[in-house]
Amino acid sequence: MRLEGKTAIVTGGASGFGAGIARKFAAEGAQVMIVDINHDGAMGMAEELGAGSFGHVANVAVSADVAETVATARQVFGEVDILVNNAGVTHLPKPMEEVSEEEFDRVFAVNCKSVYLFAHELAPFMKQRRAGAILNIASTAGVSPRPNLNWYNASKGWMNTATKAMAVELAPHGVRVNALNPVAGETPLLASFMGEDTPEMRAKFISTIPIGRFSTPEDLGNAACFMCSDEASMITGVCMEVDGGRCI
């Protein structure tokens, strides 16, 4: 029960890594607000987690949605102890010049602007309380970029730099900010990363991971739980790889 009495917002919490994080947080005693653009997914996950957790539909790239999300969380929870910026999208693998402007804008709106929007709405309250933990879910793509995922790589590199910038600014106010860098895993984005989801492509990708498997939602849940718990009270500005050695 490392998160007993804590409240948390998890974006993109209806599936993939977000679902793994939400499940772990609830198992460790937290009340979780599942934020997702998928209504049925958000409500289904909240029902699975049980009493104290609830689903909320929002587009994390839209300022009005984020403001309403934070207001709702504070109304229901009283205060928000933990924010996990997990929602993310990618473009299909292709040469950088073939990525459309629309695709580029969507990647940066969901992966980057959402972090700004939630900070804009939530950081003042965390600073006022002199307490809080923010966790950004980045990617090994932001540490060791892969060809043909150029603008996705850049968005996750942005997230790692934003994490450090946020951490050094918010530390004097008692707020910690960290990031996790998972390798690809069993999430809705897996096929997009690989271009096609075939046994051959999976084997090729896994061959680049020394531990020999993808990241799982459980891996991310375990790491996120530690980073957002009081056990990590001296850890801020860290972008931790959860990647089975992929970036070595």
Q: Which residues are catalytic?
A: 152
Within 8 A by CB and 6+ apart from 185, the residues are 16, 17, 214, 215, 216, 217, 219, 220
User: What's the DSSP call for residue 78?
Assistant: S
What is the residue-wise DSSP string for 131-152? -EEEEEE--GGGTSPPTT-HHH
CA 229, CA 235: separation in Å to the nearest integer? 10
